[in-house]
């Protein structure tokens, strides 16, 4: 925060507190009391008279105490621009303290499994219970609690893997994340609507789906020019690029004519966030074993 805004915020906050302090002293009677009187202000509304009693002591001192508490709080904790408070507290420091405490408490448990190979770890029931909790906290929001995915997020319980399903592949995905990009119109940006229709029907033919046979025949040449570089001549994809297999029954974004056409025309972009820095190496090892166990 710049010095100007720090001073501006501090002035508003302190001005408000001292303004409240001034207001209560400027408007109160010369004395406070807990005893009510019959003295009125002379105002009457529908027969209801306004009494002219001093402020009750409890109310006055509670108001003053609120101002004192506010000043004390701002002296100890952040609230006045760049001033961090005498205690030096911050939400980041508190979070880090809690993380350190958790690592001290649970780090030994994770370390117990950190050097175990993924296939072997996948057979350990205790480790898989930990893995299930790690998955629920870090992965379920995208892949679902049952790991069956949803549109745009892969199903982790089958044998279809965009980037490979070996232990090393899964570990690489968790550590480094993945960035998938299907460019609009593939490598043929000047593709016209007729060619789009042809290539969509050709893609449908790979998995034996209902299509326009004549358009599919014409679409083979379009596919060879626009799609082969990633999906291969046989349409079985490339795990090095994350290009999906178009010949099976597994579709990340839907397998109807409309879904495939939308993919061709608009392209697709997807990201799997890296877990390095969010999870320890031992936690990632356990999580990889859990994901591996879902399809093995």
Residue 70 and residue 119 share a domain: no
Is 0.85 surpassed by the pTM of this model?
A: no
Neighbours of 115 (CB within 10 A): 10
Phi first, then psi, for residue 97 (nearest 5°) are: -60, -45
User: Are 74 and 13 contacting, i.e. CB atoms less than 8 angstroms apart?
Assistant: yes
Tell me, yes or no, whether 110 lies in a domain: yes
Percentages helix, strand, coil for the chain, rounded to the nearest 5?
50, 10, 40
Tell me, yes or no, whether 127 lies in a domain: yes
Task: Identify the CATH number of the domain in which residue 207 sits.
Answer: 1.10.760.10
- CA distance linking residue 261 with residue 27, whole number of Å: 73
Q: How many domains does the chain have?
A: 3
Tell me, yes or no, whether 89 lies in a domain: no
Tell me, yes or no, whether 44 lies in a domain: yes
Of the residues 60, 76, 92, which one is the last residue of a structural domain?
76
Q: Which residues contact 57 (CB under 8 A, 6 or more apart)?
A: 32, 33, 34
Residue 201 and residue 212 share a domain: yes
* Domain with 63 in it: 3-76
pLDDT tens digits along 152-176: 999 999 999 999 999 999 999 999 9
Residue 209 and residue 70 share a domain: no
pLDDT tens digits along 103-133: 888 889 999 999 999 999 999 999 999 999 9
Tell me, yes or no, whether 85 lies in a domain: no
pLDDT at 33 > cutoff 70 = no
Residue 250 and residue 186 share a domain: yes
Residue 280 and residue 260 share a domain: no
Tell me, yes or no, whether 290 lies in a domain: yes
């Amino acid at each position: 925060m710049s010095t100007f805004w720090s001073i501006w915020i501090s002035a508003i906050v302190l001005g408000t507190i001292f303004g409240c302090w001034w207001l209560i002293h400027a408007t109160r009677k010369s004395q406070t009391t807990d005893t009510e009187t019959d003295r009125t202000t002379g105002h009457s509304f529908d027969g209801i008279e306004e009494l002219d009693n001093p402020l009750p002591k409890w109310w006055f001192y509670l108001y003053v105490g609120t101002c004192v508490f506010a000043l004390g709080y701002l002296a100890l904790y952040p609230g006045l621009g760049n001033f961090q408070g005498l205690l030096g507290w911050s939400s980041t420091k508190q979070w880090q303290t809690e993380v350190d405490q958790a690592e001290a408490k649970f780090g030994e448990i994770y370390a117990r499994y950190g050097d175990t190979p993924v296939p072997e770890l996948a057979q350990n029931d205790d480790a898989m219970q930990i893995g299930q909790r790690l998955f629920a906290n870090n992965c379920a929001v995208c892949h679902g609690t049952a790991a069956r995915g949803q549109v745009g997020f892969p199903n982790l319980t089958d044998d279809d893997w965009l980037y490979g399903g070996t232990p090393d592949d899964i570990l690489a995905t968790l550590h480094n994340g993945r960035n998938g990009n299907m460019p609009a119109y593939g490598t043929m940006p000047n593709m016209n609507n007729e060619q789009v229709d042809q290539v969509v029907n050709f893609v449908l033919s790979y998995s034996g789906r209902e299509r326009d046979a004549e358009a599919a025949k014409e679409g083979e040449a379009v596919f060879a020019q626009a799609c082969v570089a990633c999906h291969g001549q046989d349409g079985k994809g490339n795990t090095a690029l994350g290009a999906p297999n178009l010949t099976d029954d597994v579709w990340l974004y839907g397998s109807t004519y409309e879904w495939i056409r939308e993919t061709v025309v608009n392209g697709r972009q997807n990201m799997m966030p890296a877990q390095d820095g969010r999870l320890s190496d031992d936690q990632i090892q356990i999580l990889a074993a859990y994901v591996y166990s879902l399809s093995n």
